[in-house]
Amino acid sequence: MSAPETAAFPSRREQNKLATRRAIADAALAVLRNRGVGSFTVEDIAEEAGVSRRTFFNYFPTLEAALASVTEGFLDHALEQFRLRPSDEPILDSARAALMALADPMTVSPMAELFSLTQDNRTLARSELEAWDHCTTQIIDAARHRLGPDADELYLRALAGSIISCGKAAMSVWFEERGPDLSPESLASLRQHLIDAMGLLGSGFTATAPRGA
């Protein structure tokens, strides 16, 4: 079996930038939680994060983009786990294993909370779902790195689109079942839905695909 892919360790400057971006995203979710949709501004988020308005816009073009980055953060973690998988493992097996590696259900908590809080606002709900689409390029790049530069472009794009669609489906089904419940049990259910959705994709959506395996 081939060795897992490795990534260069980020520089101190890159780490600081990632930390600032994460702080702004966390602040956006905290302000949304405390004030509710439509009751806060970019300035409120910047103040909560301890940064200037200018710094906010250095990282995010809009308030909605800052909130959407909460979901992007979870997907980034999943991609990190994907890149650690053996290079000769089937891609969809790696995708499912990457989600399983995020064993703590609380890893999905920020994404689940954002999804729950934005469902009554069409603009924010759309931005949250679009965050999945924004990760399409990263998924394509990760798959291309795995398969090599000669990988079929149609395959890569269809694969990425299918993964994104399965992720969205898992989120929607979870919310219909659980509503705004963010208990550990509910978050474990969301994590399992995401894993099962990748399993369905990997099995070609066979009717007998097992759940929770």
**CATH number, domain with residue 120:** 1.10.357
CATH number at residue 43: 1.10.10
Band of pLDDT at residue 212, cut at 50, 70 and 90: low
Tell which phi-psi region holds residue 10, choosing left (phi > 0), alpha (psi between -120 and 50) or beta.
Answer: beta
Q: Please tell me whether residues 40 and 56 are part of one structural domain.
A: yes
> CB of 152 within 8 A of CB of 136?
no
Q: How many domains does the chain have?
A: 2
Is there a single domain that holds both residue 100 and residue 182? yes
Instruction: Say if residue 135 is exposed, middle or buried (CB neighbours under 10 Å; 0-12, 13-18, 19+).
Output: buried
What is the pTM (predicted TM-score) of this model? 0.80
In a domain, 207, yes or no: no
- Residue 17 shares a structural domain with residue 67: no
Q: Is residue 1 part of a domain?
A: no
Is residue 71 a contact partner of residue 132, using CB atoms and an 8 Å limit?
Answer: yes
- Rg from Cα positions in the chain: 18
What is the average pLDDT score of the chain? 87
Together in a domain, 144 and 69 = yes
Contact 66, 45 (CB under 8 A): yes
74 and 52 in a single domain? The answer is no
160 found inside a domain: yes
Model pLDDT, residue 9: 62
39 with 121, same domain: the answer is: no
For residue 93, is it within any domain? yes
pLDDT digits (tens, 9 = 90+) for 124-176: 877 777 777 778 888 999 999 999 989 999 999 999 999 989 988 999 999 99
pLDDT given for residue 34 in this prediction: 93
Same domain, 78 and 90: yes
Residue 178 resides in a domain: yes
* Residue 208 is assigned to a structural domain of this protein: no
54 and 102 share one domain: no
Instruction: Give whole-number Cα distances, 191 to 85, 112, 155, 169, in Å.
Output: 19, 10, 26, 12
Binned at pLDDT 50, 70 and 90, residue 11 comes out as confident
Which domain covers residue 20, as residue numbers? 10-60
What are the tens digits of pLDDT across the range 69-101? Answer: 888 888 888 889 999 999 899 999 998 999 888
Is residue 161 in a domain?
A: yes
pLDDT at 115 exceeding the cut of 70? yes
Does residue 158 share a domain with residue 197?
yes
Whether residues 129 and 151 share a domain: the answer is yes
Give the span between the Cα atoms of 75 and 152, in whole angstroms.
Answer: 24
Whether residue 113 sits in one domain with residue 34: no
C-alpha pair distances (Å), 83 with each of 119, 145, 170, 186: 32, 9, 22, 28
